Amino acid sequence: MPPKDNQITNSQSTLISKLESILFAAGKPLSLKKLAELTEVTVGDIESALAELQKRYVDNGHGLEIIIHQNEALLATHPAHSELVRQFLKKEELGELTRPQLETLSVIAYRGPISKAELEQIRGVNCSLILRNLQIRGLVEATNEESPLPLYQVTVDFLRFLGITSVKQLPHFDTLSNHENLEQLLRAPGALA
């Protein structure tokens, strides 16, 4: 028996979950076409799933929302919390770097350009917010931004702040940038799953 209009099938629920994950990880607008390619469904399926996700966020009073504009979708914070988010980001931007931010920045400096998945494999934790903060501070930038999986590297401002002209001038760069334990970790079965 086909599902009623208000019932969500398992495959639709899985698609909604996948879209939520992709949009969270991307942190930027992605085209509906790109989302369809990534999830191997039609643009119509993407539109339906995003509409359902939008509805869930509104109906359940979530702090997030889905913005769809000019055939691109973005996961964003709810406008009702914009002042709180703005204060948080300003404090994060102006404050000292935290230990997790310094660790992340070090990995990017020595191993970049590096994907978010590789970075998280090395650090063992989700790095989305840290990456965003480091980008806001101008210390890290994403290359090939049109890709849903950009590569991260340090910026010229990072080098200028340290008073160096190349990451190769970082202490022990040759040793740490090619450390065999990291290579083994990244090659481990299921490492970047």
CATH of the domain at 103: 1.10.10.10
Residue 1 is assigned to a structural domain of this protein: no
Residue 193 is assigned to a structural domain of this protein: no
Supply 119's token pair.
């970075």
Q: Does the structure show a pLDDT above 70 at 145? A: no
Q: Do 108 and 68 share a structural domain?
A: no
Residue 145 is assigned to a structural domain of this protein: yes
What total number of domains does the chain contain? 2
Q: Do 133 and 69 share a structural domain?
A: no
Supply 170's token pair.
């970082």
Let me know: does 133 contact 91? Beta carbons within 8 Å. Answer: no
Instruction: Count Cα neighbours of 81 within 13 Å in the Cβ-side half-sphere.
Output: 11
Q: Do 65 and 129 share a structural domain?
A: no
The pTM for the full model equals 0.49
Can you give the residue range of the structural domain that contains 36? Answer: 10-80
Per-residue pLDDT tens over the stretch 82-137: 888 777 766 655 567 888 998 999 999 988 888 888 888 888 888 888 998 898 88
Per-residue pLDDT tens over the stretch 153-192: 999 888 887 888 888 888 888 877 776 655 665 555 554 4
